[in-house]
Structure 1
Amino acid sequence: MAYIWLIIGFVLLIKGADLFVDGSSNIAKLLRVPTILIGLTIVAFGTSSPEATVSIIAALEGTADVSMGNVIGSNIFNLTLVVGIATIIFPIKVENETIRKEIPFTLLASVALLVLISDTVLQGFDVNYISRSDGLIFLLFLSVFMYYVIEVALKSRENVTQEKSSHDIKWGKNILLTLLGLAGIIIGGQMVVDNGKDIAYSWGMSEALVGLTIIAIGTSLPELVTSITAAIKKESEIAIGNIVGSNIFNILFVLGSSAVITPLDVNGKVVIDIIIMIALTVLLLVFSRTNYKIRKTEGVILVIGYVLYLTYIIIRN
């Protein structure tokens, strides 16, 4: 029965992403703001909902490893497999502002995470952990990012021309499409995670390995499906904005909220994963600077990178 629910979850994910991309891109036109900003905010926050749900529940239940592993694993999945597959389907165009500001902000959030968890090195503590004050710092960073996005949106409104007249695009219809799509993404993602875990446990996989693989991949499926759908529809701004925005939300909102609820102990092994995440963010920045486009060959490199990372964590655990 778990296999049937898994398939239904995938169907909801795919259809939900299709509606979500259509609705959100039309809302961008109605608001007269760049599509990239919708990708960075509405789409990114929506596709990060499964990570937020899983990590906050894990924090409440006192399983910090699941919360941390989910976020770090999801971000690495986004930077490698999601960008890679979307790029192989259709090369992603990257705007100058994304290269100069949004991707560096993702890098800043990742480095801040590494610094804040390095308690044994920097403060001589016995264990590394994310305290409530660290969580508040993350949420403060998030408010700065949201202020930047809103400011850019307001400045850009006058410069963005609508591709269709307001008679062709209706508010009610596209808000409904976006909400239905988001519901499909969240429900489908949760079904995939729950049933994927059941199947994995039946295969004899350990809880740690399930957290790093099944949960991280499962909660990132909305980003994967949404970015692939956006790439097929040639909505590059939503594809890259979704990935960059999701990684920012995962670190700043998901870990920030989880840590405010209860301090998170950090497994020493996760430090290596965070360093890998930082290196991959730098690699994405380098690839983005090559003619402001991530090419298919670079996408293949990223996919291979994820296969190598997955092999590494399976051997490590």
Structure 2
Amino acid sequence: MILTYVLLVVGFVLLIKGADFFVEASSSIAKTLRVPSIIIGLTIVAFGTSMPELAVSTTASLAGNNEIAVGNVIGSNIFNLLVVLGACGAIRPFAVQLRWDYAASVGVAAALFFMIVGDHFVSRTEAIILLVLFAVFVAMTVRDALTNRIEEEEEYKSITPLRCAIYIVGGLTAIVCGGDLVVECAKEIALALGMSQTLVGLTVVALGTSLPELVTSVVASRKGENGLALGNVIGSNIFNILMVLGASAAVKPVPVNGLAVVDAACLIVFSLITWLLCRSKLRISRMEGLIMLGMYTVYLIYICIR
């Protein structure tokens, strides 16, 4: 059993470091091509830090552990909203700019809820719809960013093309291998402790795979890159539902239990509350950050005792 825990830690290390290398290389490529920083936060960084969720959920779907796949996506999104943004605000209050991206994140959460509330199932047809919506989101984000493109060039430390290729290939390999380790170890631990796969997906796996978002956003917030911090969370949440769950269901249709429907409803409620907090003064204060962290603590206690 000790070996299982060791392998779980190894899996998380591979996930996090793999995502780090992937994001660093992708960001360098984006800057070399003079893509504005806003698109890096909403796409390159957000998608890169969400690669662990994609690896874990698709691996879980292939292995038939669909409850982990769904729980991981919903749990990660709730973690991103309340813990990542809450921690950023608690450490250093920051201003926010509510754009159409945030409304899109609430919309896709609502779409997921209505997909699973009836038949408790995400079919391949619904998976295709999610993937198409993801393509539309990326196209709109790119068009919006290029329309508001900043002409001034910023100084940055570039990475050689060969190093970029090594980082991307090595990072993705580490992410896939780490995702496989996390799923297998999480399943063993769940069985040993008498926990359900849903609970493991919502807690251990979701928290572990959301660490890249947490680290990236906190560092960005401390450096004053508020748009990057918020864009990373919004982009990651949209990526998780449209791409991660869409890809998982496309591989193998995903059945959903009743508790996951409740969690999806909680995600919508938390999204709206976060929107109201941001809307109040167009900033997240230290007190509001602590409130968001407190909300997540209550939610975590709820899912552990239910």
Normalising by the smaller structure, the TM-score range is 0.7 to 0.9
Find the aligned partners of 1:237 and 1:13 in 2 and give their Cα distance.
25
Find the aligned partners of 1:115 and 1:237 in 2 and give their Cα distance.
30
Read off the aligned partner of 1:140 and give its amino acid letter: V
Does the alignment pair 1:212 with 2:202? yes
Read off the aligned partner of 2:142 and give its amino acid letter: I
Contact 1:20 1:177 in 2 (8 A): no
Partner of 2:131: 139
Partner of 2:153: 162
Contact 1:18 1:229 in 2 (8 A): no
For structure 2, the 5+ residue unaligned runs are none
Does the alignment pair 1:310 with 2:300? yes
Contact 1:81 1:302 in 2 (8 A): yes
What is the deviation of 1:201? 5.6
Read off the aligned partner of 2:152 and give its amino acid letter: T
Quickly say closer, same or farther: Cα 1:173–1:28, change in 2 above 3 A: same
Partner of 1:295: 285
Partner of 2:121: 129
Quickly say closer, same or farther: Cα 1:265–1:146, change in 2 above 3 A: same
| Range with greater deviation from structure 2 (286-295 or 297-306) | 286-295
Find the aligned partners of 1:133 and 1:37 in 2 and give their Cα distance.
29
Quickly say closer, same or farther: Cα 1:257–1:4, change in 2 above 3 A: closer
Contact 1:32 1:161 in 2 (8 A): no
What is the deviation of 1:209? 2.3
Find the aligned partners of 2:279 and 2:212 in 1 and give their Cα distance.
26
Find the aligned partners of 2:134 and 2:151 in 1 and give their Cα distance.
26
What is the deviation of 1:315? 1.4
Please give the secondary structure, in 2, of the residue aligned with 1:289.
helix
Partner of 1:116: 115
Find the aligned partners of 2:59 and 2:5 in 1 and give their Cα distance.
24
Contact 2:131 2:246 in 1 (8 A): yes
Find the aligned partners of 1:12 and 1:229 in 2 and give their Cα distance.
20
Find the aligned partners of 2:162 and 2:230 in 1 and give their Cα distance.
25
**What is the CA RMSD across the aligned residues, in angstroms?**
3.0
Find the aligned partners of 2:18 and 2:123 in 1 and give their Cα distance.
36
Read off the aligned partner of 1:79 and give its amino acid letter: L
Quickly say closer, same or farther: Cα 1:291–1:174, change in 2 above 3 A: farther
Find the aligned partners of 1:183 and 1:227 in 2 and give their Cα distance.
24
Q: Equivalent of 1:270, from 244, 260, 273?
A: 260
Contact 1:27 1:174 in 2 (8 A): no
Contact 1:69 1:216 in 2 (8 A): yes
Percent of pairs with identical residues: 46
**Aligned residue pair count:** 303
Read off the aligned partner of 2:289 and give its amino acid letter: G
1:17-166 map, 5 Å: 27-94=29-96, 96=97, 99-119=98-118, 127-157=119-149, 159-164=150-155
What is the deviation of 1:176? 6.4
What is the deviation of 1:7? 5.7
Please give the secondary structure, in 1, of the residue aligned with 2:99.
helix
Q: Equivalent of 1:257, from 247, 271, 277?
A: 247
C-alpha offsets along residues 190-231 of structure 1, whole Å, 9 cap, x if unaligned?
666665665666555444422221112122122122222322
Find the aligned partners of 1:220 and 1:143 in 2 and give their Cα distance.
23
Contact 1:93 1:293 in 2 (8 A): yes
Find the aligned partners of 1:64 and 1:13 in 2 and give their Cα distance.
20
Read off the aligned partner of 2:238 and give its amino acid letter: I
Contact 1:46 1:182 in 2 (8 A): no
For structure 1, the 5+ residue unaligned runs are 120-126
